[in-house]
Amino acid sequence: MIEAIILLGPPGAGKGTLAEGLKRSTDLIHVSTGDMLREQVKAGRPLGLQAKAYMDRGALVPDELIMQIIAARLDRGPTAARYLFDGFPRTAEQARGLEALLAARQGRVHKVVLLEVPEAVLVERLAGRRVCQRCAAVYHVRNIPPRQAGVCDQCGGPLIQRPDDAAATVLNRLEVFRRQTAGLINHYAELGLLVTINAGQPRDVALAEMVAALSGATQR
Ligand code: AMP
C-alpha cells in the first residue's frame, strides 16, 4: 500500500525546507520533482535538456515528462511506503495521473498540506534563497544563513542563487502557480483531504504546525 502526502503551495512557501524537517522525524520518502529535474539538468541527461528551457523561464515542464519521472520513481521504491510529494502535482492533469498511479498500486492520497504565505513574504524568501550547488541544501541570506557566507554547512559546497529565483522569473512562477496549480486547492478540499497551515511563520513554528496537522500520518 502506497500512501501519499502532498505539499501544496506557491514557490517560496517553504515546501523543500519543511519537507527536510519532516523527513528527520518520520519515515516518509521525500520526492521533489524540482530536485529531480535539477539533477537531470546537472547530469546533462536528455530529460534534463528538455526540461531546462521551461524551468529557466519559470514555466511548468510538460505533464507527460513529470508523470514519467513519478512513475519511474514509484517503480524504483518499495511497494509499501509513505511518500511526501513536494512540488507535485502542479496541474489537474498531474493530480489525475497521480490518482491513477496510486490506484494501480492499491495506494491513495492520505493528506494534502496547503502552505499559506502572504505574497510579499514569498518574494522576499525567493530573492534571498541560496542553494548548495553540490548537495542542494537550502539557505536564506537572512532567515537561514550558513555559518560561513557562500559555503554549505553540510558539505562545504558553493552556495548559489537558482537561475529561476531571479526577480523577473519569480513573478512569472507566482503567476504560473495562480493559473495552473491553485485550482488543486479546491480539488483536494472537495475530497476532504486538505489541511492548511500558516507557513509564513518561522521555520520551526511552521514545522510544528505541520507535524500536528499530519499527526497520526507521520509517526514512525
Ligand atoms: P521547484 O523546485 O519545485 O520550485 O521547481 C522548479 C521548476 O521545476 C518549476 O518552476 C518547474 O519549471 C519545474 N517543475 C518542478 N516540479 C514540476 C511539476 N510537478 N510540474 C511541472 N513542472 C515542474
**Cα of 56 vs its chain's centroid, Å:** 17
pLDDT of residue 216: 57
Q: Where are the alpha helices (DSSP H) in the chain?
A: 15-25, 33-42, 46-56, 63-76, 92-103, 119-128, 167-176, 183-190, 203-213
Segments of the chain scoring below 50 in pLDDT:
218-220
Q: Which pLDDT tens digit goes with each residue over 140-161? A: 999 999 999 999 999 999 999 9
Under DSSP, the state recorded for 166 is S
Q: Which pLDDT tens digit goes with each residue over 88-112? A: 999 999 999 999 999 999 999 999 9
In contact, 85 and 5? CB cutoff 8 Å: yes
- Domains in the chain, ordered, with CATH? 2-117+193-213 (3.40.50.300)
Q: Judge whether 173 counts as a catalytic residue.
A: yes
Under DSSP, the state recorded for 104 is T
Distance (Å, whole) CA 67 – CA 79? 18
Q: Which pLDDT tens digit goes with each residue over 4-13? A: 999 999 999 9
Identify the active-site residue in 90, 111, 125, 130: 90
- Residue 124 grid coordinates: 522576499
Q: Judge whether 57 counts as a catalytic residue.
A: no
- Residue 57 grid coordinates: 523561464
Q: Judge whether 129 counts as a catalytic residue.
A: yes
Task: Please state, as a whole number, how many other Cβ atoms lie within 10 Å of the Cβ of residue 204.
Answer: 9
CA of 139 to the centre of ligand 1 (A): 19
Q: For Cα atoms 42, 113, 75, give the angle at the middle one, nearest 5 degrees.
A: 50
